Structure 1
């Protein structure tokens, strides 16, 4: 969630200075775009996975400090909740072996980390929302020790001026109140990063928006929250609601939320950063001493720290990233729509579909976003989150169609083409996209397996919902470590 910060109080002058610095950063960023000062010769891809910690019963284990100390690997970092950690993989070119290398690295790192976590009485589960979470797990005590999270919590609720309501209606209904941002920690996701040249950023972002609904439908893995069966990917609704700084009155006025899909196709990455500055007040108005204009004038690369910090508190499902590595700036699309899990091979199959589809859509002679309204893409996204692999979506030239049929007949061939364009090895391409194909044919993704298993346990063993969720979580963790794709997992 960004860099560490010291606990502090913010004055009016702090906010005014931050606003000035952000606007100065935006002007410098515009100049950099005009002068093409970006690293794009060897575009890299990246992968982050957020993880849950559980105890022997399958309940959340609030021990991330102990677990991270035991793991002792800089690739693993703290996350919002004390039962969360995150793994950040080194960026790679996709090329012939990029996907396979990611897969091998994640599996090896997770296996080693889980063994070390066991010494602290915890085990790692890669899942969208931990099914055994209950309201009593969510509170100020849930937040990790990093002062950034406490400060963010304070600022969000200062902006709201009241407790937040979580209200999600799916197969069952959940209505509850929260006085901290702790419920956000329930949302554990996978983030794919794709480095792109400035002149191509808009095409890749638009393409990412189009495929977001497809990704969520096939990868849904978060059907339960607080014991209730909600959306197939309840994480979408929960994240949108748990960091909402708006009161009901501001929502009625059309004020933009901080977690959102967007409101239109873009022509430049500048559109998104300008929107950040124009419409969003600062949550963490922290300034550094850099004069970005002066740094640029010297022929060096400015960090644009305020612009990046501000961007890190606006949670687009596809987020623009400006970063500096070894003194060279670059741009990335950060694809944030998918839940974690169920297995590493499932995660990499989702990656293959994403990287392949966006490349194929960008390479098309007539861009798909010129044939489709932005609202249709957003409707696809939320329909997919509600209904998962059983969703129906809109697609240009076809109309409304079951998502599995669309993928099997039209999108998998496109993903093959896109991976070929990236130079991915044919055997890895076929193996990973084959997982997606079989998931569509079977109709079973992580959410479907979780729901079927819980219902079967309730019906065949007459256990309570709470007991069924614990048992399902234990079985899920065992299957996760087998690395057999979820469509092959046995039922009860």
Structure 2
């Protein structure tokens, strides 16, 4: 999302863009989960920073800025402060062939494209990124908003854009000098709070503590209305899209809907199956044309038939406690009882399954053996039947019946990924809590 800025207003606009990032993000969050785990309300913020972090952990004492950054301070004089800092701090990641001589272009009255600068700028991922470009021979400056997530619907995305653009254009005059309004450290902390807790965040804003809801409803929406009117946007469109933001603030964001719905689904479904149901509901709601504020949170429901047609990975338990072959058997037996575990896989250091323990098997062993100085390797079942996660639950049940066993470790090419038991499938079939 890009907004073109007049060069003489760049410093004030960029600092304002930094200041408003947290409240805008808080009301827009839509990425609270990763691989079936609840994380931040906007997990992208932390995930992207970590995924492209080129710093060396062994040099932790050095204060080095990551390539994904919110920034370190207010801009004082010009866009060149940011470009000079980024060139100084971050070595080039990619190279390109450049045929243009910028000095010659200027001497000929042309605006240079500055491809080297643009290329380096594209590898430093500021959440508010300053951009220089040339369009039709005319140079311009833009601020690229990179923190607002996509979805949940196209209408929601347009509403997010309207809020951001409106607030940007509605900047109060007092914010022409950002450093006099807020400490930059508070602005940066606000941004991280918004990423973690979304619309439930409490911010420091202009020297006072205020909730994200109050800031959006009482200050940002009026600012956005004024800014959009100044830009000549039709009143009906302003009400339409800012109305979505207003209703969302009162009801729930995409992150809140996702987390509440997933937790309800987990009351009657395994993690994998709950994720499938959640995705199905997201797709249906998106197709309905309703914005996120109108989506009903999924309620816990008794499952319909069709369990046996599901792939094993949707029903298996993926949160496993495992043992190693050299573990003391008495300790492992205690752990199984503490955690109410009837089957425990034994794996090696590579994550490969090499055995299986069952409580009944261990009890029978100790009925005839008195020595406690026994390792898991001496007791475990070594010839273990496993199943692929893509096979059906029906095939898993058939295999258990044929082998007269109560569980199957689930294994793919990378090793042990889960465990499916007859008891789990009975609970799933009858819709009981798991």
TM-score range, shorter chain: 0.5 to 0.7
Is the Cα contact below 8 Å between 1:222 and 1:447 reproduced in 2? yes
Is the Cα contact below 8 Å between 1:261 and 1:316 reproduced in 2? yes
Cross-structure match for 1:490: 296
Pairing 1:423-442 to 2, within 5 Å after superposition:
423-442=232-251
SS in 1 for 2:223: helix
Is the Cα contact below 8 Å between 1:215 and 1:337 reproduced in 2? no
Q: Could you list the runs of 5+ residues in structure 1 that have no partner in the other structure?
A: 1-191
Question: Offset at 1:338?
Answer: 0.9
Question: Offset at 1:251?
Answer: 4.2
Cα separation, partners in 2 of 1:327 and 1:366, compared to 1, 3 Å: closer
Question: Offset at 1:407?
Answer: 1.3
Q: Distance in 2 between matches of 1:241 and 1:440?
A: 29
Match of 1:249 among 46, 52, 58: 58
Cα separation, partners in 2 of 1:218 and 1:413, compared to 1, 3 Å: same
Q: Could you list the runs of 5+ residues in structure 2 that have no partner in the other structure?
A: 299-434
Match of 1:284 among 72, 94, 112: 94
Is the Cα contact below 8 Å between 2:266 and 2:274 reproduced in 1? yes
SS in 2 for 1:237: helix
Cross-structure match for 2:276: 470
Cross-structure match for 2:223: 414
* Aligned residue pairs, count: 297
Cross-structure match for 2:150: 340
Determine if the alignment matches structure 1 residue 389 to structure 2 residue 199: yes
Q: Distance in 1 between matches of 2:275 and 2:157?
A: 23
Q: Distance in 2 between matches of 1:256 and 1:471?
A: 40
1:88-111 alpha-carbon deviations (Å, 9 max, x no partner): xxxxxxxxxxxxxxxxxxxxxxxx
Determine if the alignment matches structure 1 residue 456 to structure 2 residue 264: yes
Q: Distance in 1 between matches of 2:246 and 2:167?
A: 14
Pairwise CA RMSD: 1.4
Is the Cα contact below 8 Å between 1:324 and 1:330 reproduced in 2? yes
TM-score by length of 2: 0.66
Whose radius of gyration is greater, 1 or 2?
2
TM-score by length of 1: 0.59
Q: Distance in 2 between matches of 1:447 and 1:276?
A: 33
Q: Distance in 2 between matches of 1:365 and 1:354?
A: 16
Question: Offset at 1:346?
Answer: 0.8
Determine if the alignment matches structure 1 residue 314 to structure 2 residue 95: no
Question: Offset at 1:367?
Answer: 3.9
SS in 1 for 2:73: coil
Q: Distance in 1 between matches of 2:272 and 2:209?
A: 37
SS in 2 for 1:338: coil
Is the Cα contact below 8 Å between 2:36 and 2:272 reproduced in 1? yes
Cross-structure match for 2:185: 375
Question: Offset at 1:244?
Answer: 0.3
Cross-structure match for 2:47: 238
SS in 2 for 1:400: strand
